[in-house]
Structure 1
Amino acid sequence: MPPTAPPPTAAPTAAPAVELRGVRRRYGRGPAAVHALRGIDLTLPRGSFTAVTGPSGSGKTTLLQCAAGLDRPTSGSIRVAGTEISRMSERRLTALRRSRLGFVFQACNLLPALTVEDNVLLPMRLAGQRPDRRRAADVLARVGLADHAHRRPGRLSGGQQQRVALARALVTGPDVLFADEPTGALDTATAAEVLGLLRHAVDTLGTTVVMVTHDPVAAARADQILVLTGGTLTERLLPGTPQAGD
């Protein structure tokens, strides 16, 4: 009798881009303590676009900062691209942020003395990598600033500066891009351009984007909307994936 063939082995499943388990963040102690996060459980798949919204003081920015390793939770576990970061040393955490994570904030935080190209290349330099000017040219072309590489940020509009900040966040090919109110200081038309670029990063580059926003129009560009209230996830909305080119 021929030997029985072993059952097929299931293909390994990629680790989620971001995974939080029982994450709490408390500031202070005793009766005056502020409980910014109250036991967050969350799994975000790779190549997804998540918007986090909610009223002021709901814990949105604290959630983003903990997930990105910019703040440490009081308790709980955080994994980014399969790597546990909540108990990682500050040295290793800094190296991970520089090489595998991207950040875009409401304030662009560009260095005025550097050219646009050198601002974009800064994460590579900080990570100890050789600056790749071809890579910088590619990401600047993606955000529509190919002809602005040798200008200083002060010669650009606010929307152009935010696009430089986005190019800087993408230059290392991060696993996850964290954006905190990236359109908060922009007019409606310019905000739509930046949101379109974030959508493009997800759909074309496979980047995972986690965006904090108070703007329902911005949130609607995401694959899912998480609503935070009083440090607790209270709702998950699915606005539907926007059409390509929207």
Structure 2
Amino acid sequence: MSLFNRSVRTGRASTGADLASRLDAVSKVYGRGAGAVTALDDVTLGIHRGTFTAVMGPSGSGKSTFLHCAAGLDRPTSGEVHLGGVSLAGLNEVRLTELRRSRVGFVFQSFNLMPSLTVEQNIDLPHRLSGGRAEHGWRREVIERLGLSDRLRHRPGQLSGGQQQRVAIARALVTRPDVLFADEPTGALDVRTAQQILALLRGAVDDMEQTVVMVTHDPVAASYADGVLFLTDGRIVDSMTGPGADRIAERMTRLEVRR
């Protein structure tokens, strides 16, 4: 089975059961008239469940816009986005916020932890905000797999950068999201810690059957993924399945030269 479904078209069934995320002819334009900038240009794509996808491209290629639209953080100018089989089109802000809390996990370069809360409270924050309750067994498994069992009473300021990112990943996973979106999650970390975080994301896919979509500029980070999507000028121009860092770096160099 191909990692990416790039033949999905609006008008067919909402989504296949194996698709965690789907974009149908999605475009995003900022501004109007002569000053308009097209950040995404007619992107159609499906991401299979239980896969790890890296998104790469030159600066200004639309990577962050792709992530924001796919995660429901930003609305496309045209086209339609589905998360876990639910169309985001027409949802009001309240319903969209509820859907993001229940179906989407976020991990960013800046850890975005609440400094006044303990590790345990930060992990439980999504459920506290939604009024729900984490599944006890799953919550315990997430905390143990991420090596946080002995840090639950600490506050973020008492943790290293790598430990803080582990907390952010645990917070993203505890709701069992349809997709975990990560935007440069290792950009603020040293090489060794970055490798540990990438291994944790890889393990979330392999051992916990999660779906991860990660924006990165680093070919080594992208090599942890099952496949890589390459964007240029808001369009998906290429993809690779199971590539190594050298092949990814070579493809990125060709994109930069062509651009």
Determine the C-alpha separation between the residues in 1 that align with 2:59 and 2:226.
22
Assess if the C-alpha contact under 8 Å between 2:134 and 2:175 holds in 1. Answer: no
Unaligned runs of 5+ in 2: 1-14, 245-259
Q: Percent identity?
A: 58
- Aligned partner of 2:155 in structure 1 is 152
**Residue deviations 1:83-130, cap 9 Å, x none?**
101322111111011111100000001011100000000011111113
Assess if the C-alpha contact under 8 Å between 2:83 and 2:103 holds in 1. Answer: no
Q: Where do 1:66-145 residues align within 5 Å? A: 66-130=69-133, 135-145=138-148
- Aligned partner of 2:227 in structure 1 is 224
The amino acid across from 2:170 in the alignment is A
- Aligned partner of 1:212 in structure 2 is 215
Determine the C-alpha separation between the residues in 2 that align with 1:221 and 1:159.
18
- 1:187 aligned onto 2:190: yes
Which of the residues 225, 234, 237 maps onto 2:237?
234
Structure 1's consecutive aligned runs of 4 or more residues displaced over 2 angstroms after TM superposition are 130-138
- How many angstroms does 1:142 deviate by? 1.0
- Aligned partner of 1:17 in structure 2 is 20
- 1:28 aligned onto 2:28: no
- Aligned partner of 2:164 in structure 1 is 161
- Aligned partner of 1:201 in structure 2 is 204
- 1:51 aligned onto 2:54: yes
Normalization by structure 1: what TM-score? Answer: 0.90
Determine the C-alpha separation between the residues in 2 that align with 1:240 and 1:233.
17
Unaligned runs of 5+ in 1: 1-11, 242-246
Assess if the C-alpha contact under 8 Å between 1:27 and 1:33 holds in 2. Answer: yes
Change over 3 Å in CA distance of 1:57–1:13 after alignment to 2: closer
CA RMSD of aligned residues (A): 1.8
Normalization by structure 2: what TM-score? Answer: 0.85
The count of residues paired between Structure 1 and Structure 2 equals 231
- How many angstroms does 1:132 deviate by? 5.9
- How many angstroms does 1:240 deviate by? 5.0
Determine the C-alpha separation between the residues in 1 that align with 2:152 and 2:136.
10
- How many angstroms does 1:239 deviate by? 2.4
- 1:175 aligned onto 2:178: yes
Assess if the C-alpha contact under 8 Å between 1:117 and 1:136 holds in 2. Answer: no
**Residue deviations 1:28-62, cap 9 Å, x none?**
00010110001001111111110000111110000
- How many angstroms does 1:138 deviate by? 3.0
Larger radius of gyration: 1
